[in-house]
Amino acid sequence: MGRELQRTYRGRAWREEDPDDKRGLHEVGKAERAVLIASLNCSPVEEDDRLTEMGDLLDTAGALVVHRVVQRRDRPDPRLYLGKGRLGELAEWVKENKPDVVACEGDLSAGQQRHLEDTLKTRVVDRTGVILDIFALHARSAEGKLQVELAQMEYSYSRQEGLWQHLERLGGGVGTRGPGESQLESDRRMIRTRMGVLRQRIAEVAKNRDTMREERLASAVTRVALTGYTNAGKSSLMNALTGAEVDVNDALFETLDATTRAFTKDGMKVLVSDTVGFIRHLPHQLVESFRSTLDEVRDAHLVVHVADASEDDEGRAARATAVEEVLDEIGAHEVPRLLVLNKVDLLDEDERDALARRYPQAVMTSAITGEGLDDLRDRLLTTARARWDRLELEVPYSRGDVISAVYAHGRDVTQDAGPEGTVIRALMPPVEAARVRALLNGDG
C-alpha cells in the first residue's frame, strides 16, 4: 500500500504532501504550523467554502495548515467539539507531528477550548480569535488599534469568565481550592478597568470624528461607501475610480480604517470611502468596536456592494447574505444599494452573459483592466444629480426673499452682480430648487 497523503493548504490552493517528507512542514519560514479542525453539517460546496475561508484566515494570520480534521455531525460536541473517537485520533497525530496550534473553523466555548487544550496538549484557537489576531496585525491608525484592543479584551474577558466560574467551583476542599475568590475578583476588576480606559479613549477620539461627521453631513458632496465581503477588491476599485494609491494586497481584512478619496466628472464631485470588509459571522465585538468607523457606511448616500464576480453562485449568495446582515446590524439597511460585480476579467464571455442575466441591475467592473469604470462613475453621478439641482438664477435686486430662500436651503452658494439683478448659484435639493423657481416666477 502506498504511503498515505495528507492535504496541505498553502495560500488558496491545496497540494498533496508526503507526511514523511518533513521538509514540507519546515520550509514555511516563520509561519506557524496549524491543524484545522471542523465540525460541520452543510452541503459539500458550503463545506469546501468554509474550510477554504478558514485556511485563508490562518494564512493571513501567518499560519500554514499542514493537516485538517473534518467531522460531519448535526452539531459539535458540547464538551469536546469533536467526538471522542475523532479527538483521540487527532491527539495521536498532534503528539507525533507537534504542530504549533490547532485552529477551529467555528467558535468555541471557554469550556470546549479548555478541554481541547487539556486533551491535545497544545494551543487551541477558534475562528473569532484568529480574526481578532488579523485585525491586530492590520490596525494602523490610533483609533483602529484602540478598537482592536478593546475587542480582544472583551473576547478574552468572556472566555476568562468561564475559567473563573470553573475555578470557583473548585474552592472548598483540601487540595482542591482555586486561587481564591479575592484573586479571581482582582483579575476581573483589572480587565474591566482596562476596558473602561479603552472605551474612554475611543470616545475621546470619536469626538473629533463626530465634528468631522457633522461637517460631512452638512456638505453638498455626495458620499459613496464601498462595502462588501473581505478581499472582494474594494481597495483596488477605489484606486481605479479615483486615482488614489490605497495599499492593495491579496489578504483578508487588509483595510480596517476607512479611507476617503474623491473624483469629479461633469462638474460634480463624489466622495468614495473604502471601508472594512465583512465576513460570515463577523465577531460581534468587532462590529461594536468599529461602529464609529462604520458610520461612513451608515451616513453614505449610496452603498456600493462590491462582490467577486468569479465566485460560484452559492458562495456569492452566502457572502451577500453576510454583508447584508452586518449592514442591518449597523443601521444601514435603508441606505440605497448598488451591486458591483468586480473581477469580471476572470470570466469568459459565457460566464459574463450568465451573470448579466442573473443581475441585470448590477455594474460589472474590473479594477485591473478598467472595464466598466465609466459606467460605474455614471451610475454614481446619477445618484449625485438625483440629490441636488445645480441652480443658477438672475434675481432682481428687489427680490431679497428669493435670495434668502436660496441661502436657507442651498449649499455652496455664490452670487455676483448682474446687469439687472443678482446672479446666484447653488446646489439645492430638487424639491427646494423647484420652490425657489416658483417663488421667483410668482407661483410660490
CB 285 within 8 A of CB 149: no
Rounded Cα distance between 343 and 257, Å, is 23
Beta bridge partners of 260: 273
- Please, how many CA atoms are within 13 Å of residue 208, restricted to the half-sphere of its CB? 6
CA distances, 134 to each of 65, 78, 104, 148, 291 (Å): 16, 27, 15, 10, 18
Confidence (pLDDT) at 14: 34
Query: Which position has the grid cell 476588576?
Result: 189
Rounded Cα distance between 10 and 58, Å, is 10
Residues 6+ positions from 347 with CB-CB distance below 8 Å: 309, 310, 355
Confidence (pLDDT) at 341: 97
**Residue 370 Rama label (left phi>0; alpha psi -120 to 50; beta):** left
Rounded Cα distance between 260 and 258, Å, is 7
CB 230 within 8 A of CB 279: yes
Which residue in 7, 21, 86, 112 sits closest to 52, CA to CA? 7
Confidence (pLDDT) at 157: 83
Confidence (pLDDT) at 182: 62
Rounded Cα distance between 299 and 8, Å, is 44
Residue 37 φ/ψ, nearest 5 degrees:
-120, 150
Packed helices 142-170 and 127-138: angle between N→C axes, nearest 10 degrees: 150
Rounded Cα distance between 284 and 190, Å, is 23
Which pLDDT tens digits describe the chain residue by residue (444 residues)? Answer: 222 223 333 333 333 333 343 333 333 346 899 999 999 999 888 899 899 999 999 998 999 999 999 999 999 999 999 999 999 999 999 999 999 999 999 999 989 999 999 999 999 999 999 999 988 888 877 888 898 899 888 888 877 765 555 555 545 444 444 454 566 677 778 888 999 999 999 888 878 777 777 776 767 688 999 999 988 899 899 999 998 776 666 556 766 667 889 998 877 789 999 888 888 888 877 787 676 667 889 889 999 999 999 998 988 999 999 999 989 888 898 899 999 999 999 999 999 999 999 999 999 999 999 999 999 999 999 998 888 888 999 999 999 999 999 999 887 899 999 888 999 999 888 888 999 999 999 875
Task: Specify the 3-state DSSP secondary structure of 19.
Answer: coil
Q: What is the largest CA-CA distance in the chain?
A: 101
